[in-house]
Amino acid sequence: DAGVTQSPTHLIKTRGQQVTLRCSPKSGHDTVSWYQQALGQGPQFIFQYYEEEERQRGNFPDRFSGHQFPNYSSELNVNALLLGDSALYLCASRYRDSTEAFFGQGTRLTVV
Amino acid sequence: AQKITQTQPGMFVQEKEAVTLDCTYDTSDPSYGLFWYKQPSSGEMIFLIYQGSYDQQNATEGRYSLNFQKARKSANLVISASQLGDSAMYFCAMREDAGNMLTFGGGTRLMVKP
């Protein structure tokens, strides 16, 4: 049983560009959350998707947007990249409101 | 607003000894859950243990136990019989039952010495 998978694992982008990160949830999971983890800090909640709708959003600008597909996979899009967007982006999935969330290994984004 | 504080940026422990990682939290929601995650250098967050705010007993999972003191708003992680593979970052997190997001602390880097 595959866990949460994220792609790509590493990415280098230039300031001002746009990037799309992808996440496939654990089998049977229908809720996907995205987190940003800057170097040396704890993860910060970006948003959560359930039934293809954004259910809750953290304190991130509109440059950060997402999507959930009918198969529950999800994308995180970031427009107009800033140097400060360099971070590890983590995806987590769970079934409905179950307790435990399972995380992927993350996508390490570097903006130069 | 919910907040998690981990005051130990780094800790050393001798192999086979026990270690306690501190976590305090703040919330106005009476119903919430507390989590501990381990993050090795690979980046993945590995779930270790969960404590619900109404649970009467402290949670245990193998070598991990959670020392939950509700009145003091603390949820310390105790790792018994430390192993070299326990060296990693450890994060305390909270989710209010009324919400969907996990709020994480700043983490503690644990280093196990042989």
* Average pLDDT of the residues of chain A: 95
Query: What pLDDT does B97 receive?
Result: 78
Tens digit of pLDDT for each residue in A43-91? 999 999 999 999 999 999 999 999 999 999 999 999 999 999 999 999 9
Size of interface A-B (CB pairs under 8 A): 55
Tens digit of pLDDT for each residue in B39-92? 999 889 999 999 999 999 999 999 999 999 999 999 999 999 999 999 999 999
Residue in B50, B100, B101 closest to A99 by CB: B50
Interface test with B, best of A37, A97, A98 (most B CBs within 10 A): A37
Quickly state the pLDDT bin for A1 (edges 50, 70, 90).
Answer: low
* Cα–Cα distance, B40 to A107 (Å, whole number): 15
Residue in A43, A48, A55 closest to B104 by CB: A43
Query: What pLDDT does B31 receive?
Result: 92
Q: Find the closest chain B residue to A41 by CA distance.
A: B106
For residue B50, CA distances in Å to A16, A30, A38, A66, B84 come to 40, 21, 24, 28, 23
Quickly state the pLDDT bin for A33 (edges 50, 70, 90).
Answer: very high
Residues on chain A touching B50 (C-beta within 8 angstroms): 99-100
User: Do residues B66 and B51 touch, judged by C-beta distance below 8 A?
Assistant: yes
Whether residue A38 is predicted with pLDDT greater than 80 in this model: the reply is: yes
Please name which of A73, A70, A60 lies closest in space to residue A32, comparing C-alpha atoms.
Answer: A73
Give the mean pLDDT of A5-9.
Answer: 97
Structure tokens at A63: 């440059």
Whether residue B1 is predicted with pLDDT greater than 80 in this model: the reply is: no
Question: What DSSP string describes chain B?
Answer: --EEE---SEEEEETTS-EEE--EEE-S-SSEEEEEEEE-TT---EEEEEEETT-SS--EETTEEEEEETTTTEEEEEE-S--GGG-EEEEEEEEETT----EE---EEEEEE-
Whether residue A2 is predicted with pLDDT greater than 80 in this model: the reply is: no
Quickly state the pLDDT bin for A100 (edges 50, 70, 90).
Answer: confident
Percentage of chain B modeled with pLDDT above 90: 88
From chain B residues 18-77, the ones with a CB under 8 A of any chain A CB are 33, 37, 42-47, 50, 52
User: Do residues B18 and B81 touch, judged by C-beta distance below 8 A?
Assistant: yes
* Cα–Cα distance, A34 to A20 (Å, whole number): 13
Q: How many CA atoms lie within 13 A of A90 on its CB side?
A: 24
**Helix (H, G, I), strand (E, B), or coil: what is residue A84?**
helix
Whether residue B3 is predicted with pLDDT greater than 80 in this model: the reply is: yes
